[in-house]
Amino acid sequence: MRNVCPTEMIDLSLHILDIVENSTKAGAKLVEIYLSEDAEKDLLQIIIRDNGIGMDREMVKTVRDPFVTTRTTRRVGLGLPMLEQAAKEANGGLSVISKPGHGTEVRVTFQASHIDRKPLGDIASSIITLIMGNPEVDFIYESDLNGEKITLDTQAIRAELEGTTTITDPAVLKLIRGLFM
């Protein structure tokens, strides 16, 4: 799995991939991803919640600064600042709520019809990439895009598999992709 360079984030699925990768690096064992689009309210909302180590108040205050990162591999953290910029360009916004030991929630909104709103992109591939790259992490994905609903819960899938195969088995991943078709 290649790291996504934030300057290559041409769609929202790549932003989701980046944020969730940060969640898994922060020790999350459960990541919840919620997408909703309401045509009447002209609103697209993405919520990503994890049970990772969380951040203290000071870190939450600085997380939007592109020159602040906890990574040791690079000196900039462009993911959230670029997502916030994308939201602002589409009359939206971004909020981060976190508490040490209790995880983090990132909530981002967009004016759904705004000409500058980035497309959703290939959500299915992003979710499958996350599952393949983090087989020990559970994911809950729910979307309601103008009445078209999708629900995915890897905990439930694992229970159904009853140890007969793994969630990263190609046949299982093919079934997961089918949920998005």
CA–CA gap between residue 50 and residue 102 (Å, rounded): 8
- Sign, CA dihedral 156-157-160-165, equals negative
Summarize the confidence of residues 24-30 as an average pLDDT.
95
CATH superfamily placement of domain 6-179: Histidine kinase-like ATPase, C-terminal domain (3.30.565.10)
Longest dimension (CA), the chain: 48
Report the candidate in 58, 1, 9 with the shortest Cα–Cα distance to residue 25: 1
Q: Residue 4 carries which DSSP code?
A: P
Task: Summarize pLDDT for 120-157 with one digit per residue, the tens.
Answer: 999 999 999 999 999 999 999 999 998 999 999 999 99
Model confidence at 69, pLDDT cuts 50, 70, 90, reads low
- Which pLDDT does position 1 carry in this prediction? 44
- Which pLDDT does position 140 carry in this prediction? 98
Question: Which comes out higher in pLDDT, residue 58 or 70?
Answer: 58
Percent of the chain with pLDDT over 70: 88
Model confidence at 79, pLDDT cuts 50, 70, 90, reads confident
Q: Model pTM greater than 0.75?
A: yes
- Which pLDDT does position 70 carry in this prediction? 54
Residue 2 in this model has a pLDDT that exceeds 50 = no
Q: Where are the domains of the chain?
A: 6-179
C-beta separation of 17 from 129 below 8 A: yes
Task: Indicate the range of 8-12, 171-175, 176-180 predicted with least confidence.
Answer: 8-12
In the chain the beta strands, taken as DSSP E runs, fall at 30-38, 43-50, 93-99, 103-111, 138-145, 148-153
